[in-house]
Structure 1
Amino acid sequence: MDISSQEIEAIVRKVIAGINPATNVTPDIPAIKSPKYTGDNGVFERVEEAVEAAWKAQRDWVTNYKVEDRHRIVEAIRRCGRDHVEEWSHLIVEETQMGRYEDKVEKHLAVINKTPGPECLTTEAISGDAGLMIEEYAPFGVIGSITPTTNPTETMIHNTISMISGGNSIVFNVHPRAKRVCAECLQALHKAIVDAGGPANLITMLREPTMDTVDMLTSNPKVRLMTGTGGMGMVNALLRSGKKCIGAGAGNPPVIVDETADVELAARKIYEGASFDNNILCFAEKEVFVVSPNYEGFIHNIQKQGAYLLNNSQVEALVKICLEPNKNQSGYEVNKKWVGKNAALILAQIGVQVEDSCRLAVCEVPADHPFVLVEQMMPVLPIVRCSTFEEAMEKAVIAEQGNRHTSSIFSKDVDHMTRFARLIETTIYVKNSCTKAGVGIGGEGHCTMTIAGPTGEGITNAKSFCRRRRCMLAEGGLRII
């Protein structure tokens, strides 16, 4: 049964009054103060207020709630997410102008249903002649979480389930281009937590997120851990902060289709993955290296799936639309105006009219083409012909640029699969399916939208956001043998 601060105070006063019935004088009892910072269902104007409220909530969370309470409240979050999934998917497309509604629904359902809760926080024990040792997963405390515009509420839901399952509270600094939908999502999740009996302000966010608020969040001494999902510039900035950091950085995932591959399967799965949510996912297929014996068959089959094959002049025209010179004038960077836009809309800019059912444009280019080396995050997929499997591996490693994020291969040769895995060293490695299967979207295993490649936590879950603590009972205590 939940009892408010006011009810507790009234009970205490009655008890003390009853101790001295002769005078029936109620002593002067200091009032039990409500939290100073209440916010707007978790949404705050100032960093200090958001952190302070989250800090108080986290102390309450670990002091007064059991693990079974965490299970109950996580289930309330899942129910809330399912109730709002269509609404939030529409709002993301409307606010960010990126991606596809139906794919965002699928992403939401994956993180809602397949992000592990407290059940993954297993205790490890060793019993021996020298005593009993247990190691458990303990919270860091307040976590600062920076979320992207590409998966705004999906990341918020995943991080909320994972982080509070580990006993933490969270202050979100969301991407400014998704602040409205994130505020609606956080307020709904906040209400679900409170309605299920959890503490207010276990999750908070800044109403007006900026880079300044990121710096203030990072420097606040009550924030014990920082997490960031986005580009490597952001991740590197967090790493320089001096705090423990979990960073999910950039990708540019290459795919190899070798000479033994089932080209029909490869074309179908690559089309599905590279066009999913207009390719804004960091783990989506970004370039394909096809070994020569299967090259023509692959081109034919991916067109059968619905891809539009660009000719050389159209490729040149599209480079001028989708890319722009970088600041050093030494190469290209993506034109953010076209990130996550539908293929039909992008193609219309160069005079190509296709139905919206065409979800992907493909082009035949050399391995040093900017479409191969620049992570576009739009449904334009470069395809490179390679003479041998060894050449495909070499060029794929160059294209991946050491991000060690995601890669995949279509092959029936186990030796090829093994060699490429060892060479590419990516956090996610998928064989004979689209790369989204590697994060549990159409594949086995739990789901995440925080893929911590740079800092090594990988496919994050509640364990990732916890400290390992050891407790030792010496002299053979509790042993029965």
Structure 2
Amino acid sequence: MSITEKDLEKIVSQVVKNIEGAITNKNIEIPKNLAPIKINDHHLKGVFEEIEAAIKATSEAQKQLMLEYRIEDRQRFIQAIRKKALENAEKMSQMGLEETGMGNLKDKIIKHKVVAELTPGTEILKTDAYSGDHGLTIEEMAPFGVIGAITPSTNPSETIISNSIAMLAGGNAVVFNPHPGAKNTSTFAVDMINRAIIEEGGPENLVTTIFNPTLDTVEAIIHHPEVKLLCGTGGSQLVKKLLSSGKKAIGAGAGNPPVIVDDTADIPKAAKAVLDGATFDNNIPCIAEKEVFVLEAVADDLIYHMLKNGAVMLDRQQTEAVMKTVLTEKEDLKAASCSGEKPRKTYGASKEWVGKDAKLILKEIGVAYKEDTRCVICEVEGDHPFVMTEMMMPVLPIVRVESIEEAIELAKKAEGGNGHSAIMHSKNIDNLTRFAKEIGTTIFVKNAPSYAGIGVGGEGFCSFTIAGPTGEGVTNARSFTRKRRCVLAEGFKIV
């Protein structure tokens, strides 16, 4: 009995209906924006209902990668991922904006293009060799195996693409636990990456995720014996959780990057650069300028040029109104001290305002703005909540200082010892050197917007996992490998 093409189409159609029925019966919702690319290839690649199944599939795929494929195959897969990411940059940007409500479309498209083009692949892996009378020893960069990665809602698909390229380049496979607030965008990215690899003849499930990520799935990934390395991009609590797991962990923690402008800076250039960095994707990148310390002698000039570049200055009353709108307030949990000092009030950025447009913030408090308005600025004291809180929105506090010494001390307090990023505008080498040494951040940008630190408008590669707390810095494929020594000896005897 022969099967015609028409019969085959009927069979495929029925299989698809059965899959859809099974999904519906299990009450699993597949978003419309994650519709199948082809009708006869319905299921999402690398996306699992159960975390155990995801980890098992990832482990099997990684073993297959190491046994059946070469390094040049990995690079071929990576090139395919880059191509797919560039093709879908606008789509993923739109999805991320609609799902999270944070940032802006133009800058999200730039971020996707940057991670696709500037995240290093296998070319960054180097082997050391030692040869002599007694043989040959090589030290190569070997994979950990399965990596468990927790990704944020601020840069969901960007982080997944960047991490996937770097981790696969090192010979690993990865199971992602995305932030629940960005699960649809993250799922799309994982499906896209798998399709890119499969189309190049690679194994499925080198990159996987869970369809409904929760804290329970995070715990399952952290403690699963098949997961050999952990990587987390998020706040300090996440980093602490990973480091307490007993496994090797790479942690990208919080930041509150300060920027100093001294009296030798090119002020018009500095004003534009500070605003370019602070407003990029509405300030949600963790490297972005969060507070400005400017020497009194040039403060008025800096503010003038900021106003010319799309900033709106608030008066004291308006500043208080913004503070009440965009910050949440809570009592410090610490008890009163022996001196009778009362617990301090602490602040956090209100989730509903994180990543929102400056014009929306101004509209909320009834302040006029122009079409090109992109940042809200205000003058405050060095310990103001706007200075000490990682705002992640285009509200930029400005603090006047009398000396470079005062600027550095206040900047260090605002940065909070996170060791993440800092920026300075100056032509004084001594001032630049002193601030760089004292602030001790993973990224230090001089006379440019903060995003130059990840290769945008500056030199160097890109990554959206900046591992300050665990010391890997701006991560790449090397960060996700371990040193392996292979020795070929020539029978030397110990006398």
Q: Same fold (TM over 0.5)?
A: yes
Aligned to 1:467: 482
Aligned to 1:35: none
In structure 2, the CA distance between the partners of 1:333 and 1:43, relative to structure 1 (3 Å rule), is same
Q: Where in structure 2 are the equivalents of 1:347-362 lying within 5 Å? A: 347-362=362-377
What is the CA-CA distance between 1:174 and the residue it aligns to? 0.3
Tell me, in whole angstroms, the C-alpha distance in 2 between the residues paired with 1:140 and 1:301.
50
- Per-residue CA deviation, residues 341-391 of structure 1 (Å, 9 max, x unaligned), is 000011111111323521110010000100000000000000000000010
2:427 alignment partner, SS class: coil
1:345 alignment partner, SS class: helix
Q: In the alignment, does 2:412 pair up with 1:397?
A: yes
Aligned to 1:203: 207
- What is the identity percentage for the equivalent residue pairs of Structure 1 and Structure 2? 52
Q: In the alignment, does 2:422 pair up with 1:418?
A: no
In structure 2, the CA distance between the partners of 1:199 and 1:368, relative to structure 1 (3 Å rule), is same
Structure 1: state its 5+ residue gaps: 1-37
Aligned to 1:61: 65
What is the CA-CA distance between 1:39 and the residue it aligns to? 7.0
Q: Specify the code of the residue in structure 1 equivalent to 2:190.
A: L
In structure 2, the CA distance between the partners of 1:39 and 1:129, relative to structure 1 (3 Å rule), is farther
Aligned to 2:291: 287
Aligned to 1:83: 87
What is the CA-CA distance between 1:476 and the residue it aligns to? 8.2
Q: Where in structure 2 are the equivalents of 1:231-380 lying within 5 Å? A: 231-326=235-330, 328=332, 330-380=345-395
Aligned to 2:175: 171
- Per-residue CA deviation, residues 67-99 of structure 1 (Å, 9 max, x unaligned), is 110111110001100110011111111000000
Structure 2: state its 5+ residue gaps: 1-41, 333-343
What is the CA-CA distance between 1:241 and the residue it aligns to? 1.1
Q: TM-score, normalised by structure 1?
A: 0.90
- Is the 8 Å Cα contact of residues 128 and 476 (structure 1) preserved in structure 2? no
- Per-residue CA deviation, residues 406-456 of structure 1 (Å, 9 max, x unaligned), is 001100011111111100000000000011000011111000000000000
Q: Specify the code of the residue in structure 1 equivalent to 2:296.
A: S
Aligned to 1:22: none
Return the match for 1:42 from 32, 46, 54: 46
Q: How many residue pairs align between the two structures? A: 440
Tell me, in whole angstroms, the C-alpha distance in 2 between the residues paired with 1:304 and 1:356.
13
Q: TM-score, normalised by structure 2?
A: 0.87
CA RMSD of aligned residues (A): 1.3
- Is the 8 Å Cα contact of residues 291 and 386 (structure 1) preserved in structure 2? yes
Q: In the alignment, does 2:451 pair up with 1:447?
A: no
Q: Specify the code of the residue in structure 2 equivalent to 1:417.
A: L
1:326 alignment partner, SS class: strand
- Is the 8 Å Cα contact of residues 93 and 101 (structure 1) preserved in structure 2? yes
- Is the 8 Å Cα contact of residues 343 and 356 (structure 1) preserved in structure 2? no
Tell me, in whole angstroms, the C-alpha distance in 1 between the residues paired with 2:372 and 2:180.
30
Tell me, in whole angstroms, the C-alpha distance in 1 between the residues paired with 2:345 and 2:315.
26
Q: Specify the code of the residue in structure 1 equivalent to 2:370.
A: E
Q: Specify the code of the residue in structure 2 equivalent to 1:358.
A: T
Tell me, in whole angstroms, the C-alpha distance in 2 between the residues paired with 1:136 and 1:95.
42
What is the CA-CA distance between 1:475 and the residue it aligns to? 3.2
Q: Specify the code of the residue in structure 1 equivalent to 2:360.
A: L
Aligned to 1:434: 449
Tell me, in whole angstroms, the C-alpha distance in 1 between the residues paired with 2:265 and 2:49.
55
2:345 alignment partner, SS class: coil
In structure 2, the CA distance between the partners of 1:424 and 1:476, relative to structure 1 (3 Å rule), is farther
